[in-house]
Copies of this chain bind each other. A is one copy, B any other.
Amino acid sequence: MSGEEITSSANPRVKAAVALRDRKDRDTRGESLVDGAREIRRAIAAGVELVELFMAPGMITSDDAQSALAAARARGARATTVSPHVLARLAFGDRSDGLVAVIRTPPTNLDRLVLPSRALVVVAEAVEKPGNLGAILRSADGAGADALIAADPRTDVFNPNAIRASLGTIFSVPIASATTPATIDWLHSHHIAIVVARVDGTVPYSAADFRGSVAIVLGSEAHGLAGTWSGPATQAVSLPMLGIADSLNVSAAAAILLYEARRQRSSS
């Protein structure tokens, strides 16, 4: 295990980990931070490389945290004991399990995705808020989606807040990041039908057919979808908006469409 307890946030390894809160550091080093026992366990289960594990032993009380620690040890991860104060500096969320990990960011090339026949894919374009990306991943995991593609993302996919909001499902749902044109090309070449959610969509979403290979495409809250998501191979569907607002939260729209696809697939 770890040797001495680190009690100062000025420790170089602690500083290097804290620096991963900045996207620039994450991009340069190809690493990110995972806060939380469940999230760390899910990263390990998915085969993600643990660079380092910081732990505050007195805070490791939950079963989840103990099994995350055991899994990390079994993988031979370098574990570093820190004081509760130092762990608080490293932690991201408002709850703490006493564990924060540095991981090697998994690759997100589109050409790594391997899909089954009748694939269910969700595409989130220009997502800005890591919390929204994480929430969409949770619904994608629950609905059994085969992949999530972040098209022209405005956040890095493995942003610590996206990892946290996904509860670690970011490690189990196959995920890729690409430009919008590359995403469209890839969907076409894989014969995946495109269903885009638009305020002005002409078909009610529940009348669309989600039973074949299909990608559900969601735009950013601020800007909607790029104009390139149109054309004959693309069906624009709408969600009923019966109140005063003209759109749903993007993660609510994703949940509704993913579960409608799941419902149709189960009953077909």
| A residues lining the B interface (CB < 8 Å) | 42, 45, 135, 138-144, 167-169, 172-173, 206, 239-245, 247-249, 251-256, 259-260, 262-263, 266-267
Contact = CB atoms under 8 A, between A and B. Distances in A.
A9 B42 CA distance: 47
Nearest to A129: B94
Given A251-B249, A259-B256, A243 B144 contact: yes
B249 A139 contact: yes
Contact of A240 (B241, B243, B260, B266): B266
A171 to B, nearest CB: 9
Contacts of A138: 245, 248-249, 252
B240 A142 contact: yes
Most chain B CB atoms below 10 A, which of A245, A260, A266? A245
B142 A172 contact: no
A249 B255 CA distance: 10
Contacts of A241: 142
Contacts of A240: 142-144, 259, 262, 266
A17 to B, nearest CB: 26
A44 to B, nearest CB: 12
Contacts of A206: 263, 266-267
Nearest to A94: B129
26 contacts: A45-B244, A139-B252, A141-B243, A141-B245, A142-B241, A142-B247, A142-B252, A143-B242, A144-B240, A144-B242, A144-B243, A167-B245, A168-B244, A168-B245, A169-B245, A172-B243, A172-B244, A173-B243, A206-B263, A239-B259, A249-B255, A251-B251, A252-B254, A252-B255, A256-B256, A259-B260
